[in-house]
Structure 1
């Protein structure tokens, strides 16, 4: 019988990364969310997702980290891959601590195992909230012909536009990615490092946006991609996503990644057309 190991839980980001950073970097694609969120917390402060402090955990067995989690309240628990036994052990420890979890997001089997373990421990009823697919860029194939217009990196003058679009994007996805940033803080941070590109029409009107995370462990994730409802179906999202993907590759990213909502066949087909290929499916559960 395999020993699960010991979960070490802390609110200290530096302590967590001292133990878990090497593990997270062993598979930057599968651990993209953990890598980018911890990088953002370290570089921009521990309260960018809300006033309640984040919580982190690392599973150690035989002197090595085997799994990890984080939570930035009010967001869901975010897990790396776990066995059923590891998920049960974590649910037991978190329930014993008195943690109140709104949900979980992880690879599909891990999310399902933890949701069931949390139900057994707390009586909460899990409900499937989101199904997502992680893609990685292989050979980039920009749309041809491209829609009229051009890409442009967002600047300070675009702040209000980005705040508005980010709010619309978060409303559209229903918070599938966990705890959301403050829209103003998010816009200002992305502008500071050139992390949002707009597609604008020939007259200079922005019609779509695509963002990228900072490069961590050789990976960059495309997020978010958003086109207002009345402007969809014209190729803007494909064009601006292809542009940020090209720039990410040019910046030396070894992995260029993105998530899609599996309930949206249009976006899944779009990203495959420009060169993205499926890696693994994720699932998000709410606990009621």
Structure 2
């Protein structure tokens, strides 16, 4: 008899106390729960929005088998599940009256949960995007490298960093974004944004780093304004951020790329990133993007 039970957990501290060991057992596969929860722990619950985050775990025989969380208004994040576990999670969330605007998980889990939610709501899910998780192998500097240099963003860069964050979110079709100024302020203060600038000192691209947790750091929010693309700036900013992550002591440096964008996937592979696994993001019935 299956003794698995989905349980609600009250806050990020209780969630990490209960599920932290499980999440750290596979840090690459669990990079999103680890990095978002580290951000909540370090920056406070307001770091990802005004509403309280929601957390839960699947326990079997007293051990955590899987976990989920959601920082409203964003989509549900779920660790790998079997179809049966995905169905049980859908039932658990529906019984709790929780809104589920979408789901983000590895390909098989996301599809299984979307189908389980469709079976309960009779509404068709919509595939939002497919992502590939990459892990850095041997870092290779872009060759030829673009003219200019890399540096860490400073307070004087707040304007472009905030603007590029907002443009990045818009370009990926995201909604419910964090306040761009607050996002920039936090990451500039933590020295977690790499910029590539032209020889005359004009920033032209950025790549940010998540906080270190479980031996891994993820490169995120790689962005070059549309009119400046195709010149190698994004690859150079990514390489600089990746080198900074290694210098910080990361055992694994990770990033996600949209599979619909062959250019960015090619850039990341040329600087040394190798595929780990694929993820999928679905919007569910009546959901706003998040």
Structure 2 length-normalised TM: 0.96
SS at match of 2:47: coil
Q: Quote the RMSD (CA, aligned, Å).
A: 1.1
* Aligned residue pair count: 285
CA–CA separation in structure 2 for the residues paired with 1:180 and 1:110 = 25
Q: Which runs of 5+ in 1 are unaligned?
A: none
Cα–Cα, structure 1 residues 4 and 102, in superposed 2: closer, same or farther, change >3 Å? farther
Among 188, 192, 197, the residue aligned to 2:185: 188
**Does the 8 Å contact 2:3/2:61 carry over to 1?**
no
Instruction: Please give the residue correspondences for 1:94-105 in structure 2 after superposition, counting only pairs within 5 Å.
Output: 94-105=93-104
Q: Counterpart of 2:242?
A: 245
The one-character-per-residue Cα deviations of 1:116-174 (angstroms, maximum 9, x if unpaired) are 00111222320100100000000111112210000010001111111111100000011
Q: Counterpart of 2:44?
A: 45
**Does the 8 Å contact 1:141/1:273 carry over to 2?**
yes
The one-character-per-residue Cα deviations of 1:176-229 (angstroms, maximum 9, x if unpaired) are xx8532211110110111100110000000000011111111000000100000
**Does the 8 Å contact 1:107/1:282 carry over to 2?**
yes
Query: Which sits farther off after the overlay, 270-279 or 41-50?
Result: 41-50
Q: Counterpart of 1:287?
A: 284
Structure 1 length-normalised TM: 0.97
The one-character-per-residue Cα deviations of 1:90-127 (angstroms, maximum 9, x if unpaired) are 10011111111110000000000000001112223201
CA–CA separation in structure 2 for the residues paired with 1:44 and 1:125 = 36
CA–CA separation in structure 2 for the residues paired with 1:265 and 1:28 = 26
SS at match of 1:47: helix
CA–CA separation in structure 2 for the residues paired with 1:130 and 1:262 = 8
SS at match of 2:145: coil
Q: Which runs of 5+ in 2 are unaligned?
A: 286-290
CA–CA separation in structure 1 for the residues paired with 2:69 and 2:162 = 26
SS at match of 1:90: helix
